[in-house]
Amino acid sequence: MFDKPILQIKNLSKQYGKGCLHCQNDGAQLERNFCPVCKTVYACKDISFDLHRGEILGIVGESGSGKSTLMKSLYFDEEVTSGEGYLIDYHEGKENIFSQSGQQLRWIRNTLLGMVYQNPMLGLKMDFSSISNIAEKQIAAGNRNVDNMVSRSYELLDKVNIPVDRSKEPPKNFSGGMQQRVQIAKALSSNPPILLLDEVTTGLDLSVQAAVLDLIKTIQREMQISMIVVSHDLAVIRMLADRTVVMLNGQIIEEGLTDQILEDPNHPYTQQLVYSLL
Amino acid sequence: MNKFPFAFLDEQSKKEIRRAILKGVAIPGYQVPFASREMPIGRGWGTGGLQITLALVGKEDVLKVIDQGSDESVNAVNIKKLVQNTTGVQTTIHTSEATLIQSRHRIPEVPLRSDQILVLQVPEPEPLRRVERSEFKTKQLHAEKEYSGAWLWLFEQIMRYNQTTQGADYPVLVHERYVMNPSPIPRFDNPKINDSDALILFGAGREKKIYAVPPYTKVESLAFDDYPFEIEKFEGKACKVTGLTNVFLDEMTDEVTGETYYVCNDTSFMQEYLEKRGTVNVR
Ligand SMILES: Nc1ncnc2c1ncn2[C@@H]1O[C@H](COP(=O)(O)OP(=O)(O)OP(=O)(O)O)[C@@H](O)[C@H]1O
Ligand SMILES: [Mg+2]
Ligand SMILES: [Zn+2]
């Protein structure tokens, strides 16, 4: 834990809209994250955090607090408005990832990051076979050997507990829980050091939720992969995260060891969250 | 007839199309947008190829038009008539006599020469369209040379059928830069695009794109390391009329006996072969 962080994010901001004289003023009155004058949404404001090797960082916050926007920014689906990011595995953490070319971003995404989207439709090609979905990341990373990709995909299907004989079925035939498993297998397929998980268990039955959470813990233990786990559900965060940041209206309002935050929340909003869990 | 300018299109339109062609030649395999005109033939019937032909044709040219390997299909004849009526150029069915060849679905069996131009009609120019609907995004993918989508499509075929099943329009990498749809020619014709003596031009009327493979350009069909690209094999099959084996064959059914047999797809090639041998014309 005393190593240099594997990922460092500094002052990341993402806004939807151009802003106006009203909202660009420091201390301007916003309605939550939203400018009442020009309708600009300040989805993420000045987000800074570190992710350490092998740790699971939790991000918790209510709906609309900017969690998915943050994850999409980290995966380069959304272009950040401002901010810096450093990956220890990219030029030894000396180059700001957010100022790289599209080609570089693709390379980083294909080799250093895995993403599981809140909405499986964003992460999977529903009409392609599941095995192709898993192999897609390997293809994108430059693999041109079919047999090699197939055996790697079988390995991953096995890891996420999907029977290999269903590998040729498209994800649209699968239940929500299985779709998330396919997404996890795909995210892992290029063996990235960092996995981003956005509300992986939301919308699943409780028993299915528990199984997916177990799977994530097992993967983390076996593969020593670093993870950022986003959830609006503190119970999920409690189960998975070593450290946690709490987001509200696009900002981080509290951060610390998960146990500490659960035992002794500082911010009134966090207190409210924690008490509602008890 | 005189109410049309030479080669139907006005000079401004021809210039514009020629500029698109030149740009295409300068950037092999790159899809150049152009302002596709209304043509007096139905869309989807080769309006893209026709506009290229009309922009290039000169009084000295000899034109050949092929549709699915035949010079005499309605579509080929209509295109030929239109060009002939507005230019007065000669037409031919013999590949070796032609200077300008417009084709749909085939590259002729007779090897092309450096003084010939082949124009291919293209319904869908975008090799990434199956995996990405947005034109904005596919343009970006080409710019970044990001062709995972084309590879994924081949991978999916292998997963479903244990081989790449795509028979026509099999994607190629041009000059180690752009992935390109070679128009709906069979795989059998893909190798002919590589290091071709003739200039090959592609026109997509509906999609408003022109692209080119200049002579002697390296063109490779995409293939995974362990699933090499293969052309259609007609093993143990031969043309019933000529006995030829190293040509692209059409599968036919004898109406009387119900028996399956094969004939050359390129009918003018077959005819030339028979004439050379002194056999009577089969038609
Ligand atoms: N493309 C967009 N255009 C405009 N506003 C957007 C866009 N995407 C998200 N937003 C806004 O940004 C804010 C943050 O949304 P985001 O999806 O990141 O929240 P979240 O924390 O993931 O919520 P949830 O728990 O519901 O998934 C919201 O106010 C949302 O309306
Ligand atoms: Mg979200
Ligand atoms: Zn404003």
Q: Which residue has the tokens 């059409």?
A: B250
pLDDT surpasses 60 at A132: yes
Residue A262: per-residue pLDDT: 94
| Cβ <8 Å between A103 and B160 | no
- Structure confidence by residue, pLDDT tens digits, B75-106: 899 999 999 999 999 999 999 999 999 999 99
Report the distance separating Cα B15 and Cα B43, nearest Å: 22
Rounded mean pLDDT, A159-182 = 95
pTM: 0.91
Torsion of CA A120, B128, B144, A143, to 10 degrees: 70
Ligand 1 contact via A63 beta carbon (within 6 Å): yes
Residue B163 touches chain A, beta carbons under 8 Å: no
Helix, strand, coil share (%) of chain B residues, nearest 5: 30, 20, 50
For residue B63, CA distances in Å to B54, B77, B79, B81, B84 come to 11, 11, 10, 11, 9
Residues B143, A201: Cα–Cα separation, whole Å: 37
Strands B100-104 and B117-121: parallel
Q: Determine the residue of chain B that is closest to A167 in CA distance.
A: B159
Q: Is the pLDDT of residue B283 over 50?
A: no
- Reported as a pLDDT band with limits 50, 70 and 90, residue A2 is low
Q: φ, ψ for residue B140 (rounded to 5)?
A: -65, -40
Confirm or reject CATH 3.40.50.300 for domain A56-78+102-276, answering yes or no. yes
Checking if the pLDDT of A3 tops 80, the result is: no
**What ipTM was reported for this prediction?**
0.90
Amino acid A106 reads: R
Reading the block at residue A156, the tokens are: 């991953």
Residue A143: pLDDT over 80: yes
Helix (H) or strand (E) holding A228: strand A226-231
What gap in Å lies between CA B213 and CA B10, rounded to an integer?
A: 26
Nearest CA to ligand 1 atom 5: A16
The arithmetic mean of pLDDT across residues A206-230, rounded, is 92
**And the tokens for B260?**
């399956």
- A70 versus A29: the higher-pLDDT residue is A70
Q: pLDDT band at B2, cuts 50/70/90?
A: low
Q: What is the pLDDT of residue B281?
A: 52
Half-sphere exposure for A147 (CA within 13 Å, toward CB) = 4
- Residues within 5 A (CB) of ion ligand 3: A 20, 22-23, 35, 37-38, 40
pLDDT of residue B4: 83
CATH number of the domain located at residue range(s) B11-123+183-216 in this protein: 3.40.50.11310
Taking alpha carbons only, the member of A160, A169, A164 closest to residue A150 is: A164
Q: Which of A108, A125, A130, A139 to mutate to test the interface with B (most CBs of B within 10 A)?
A: A139
Q: So what's the pLDDT on residue B279?
A: 64
Classified as helix, coil or strand, B187 is helix
Choose the residue to mutate in A44, A63, A69, A248 for probing ligand 1, maximizing ligand atoms within 8 Å of C-beta: A69
The residue ranges of every structural domain in chain B are 11-123+183-216, 233-283
pLDDT at B268 over 50: yes
Q: Are A157 and A206 in contact (CB under 8 A)?
A: no
Per residue in B206-239, pLDDT tens?
999 999 999 999 999 999 999 999 999 999 999 9
**Separation of alpha carbons A75 and A122, rounded Å:** 12
Average pLDDT of the residues in A148-161: 95
Taking CB atoms within 8 Å and a gap of at least 24, the contacts of A173-176 are: A174/A130, A175/A208, A176/A120, A176/A203, A176/A204, A176/A208
Token readout for A37 is: 């004058």
Query: Structural domain boundaries of chain A?
Result: 56-78+102-276
More confident residue, B278 or B141: B141
Which uninterrupted H or E stretch holds B56? helix B47-56
Summarize the confidence of residues A81-90 as an average pLDDT. 97
3-class SS letters over A64-127: CCCHHHHHHHHCCCCCCCEEEEEECCCHHHCCCHHHCCHHHHHHHHHHHEEEECCCHHHHCCCC
Q: Which residue, judged by its Cα, is nearest atom 14 of ligand 1? A: A66
Partner-chain residue, chosen from B143, B145, B155, that has the shortest CB–CB distance to A139: B155
Closest by Cα among B52, B50, B46 to B22 = B52
Distance A231 CA to ligand 2 centre (A): 8
What average pLDDT is seen over chain A? 94
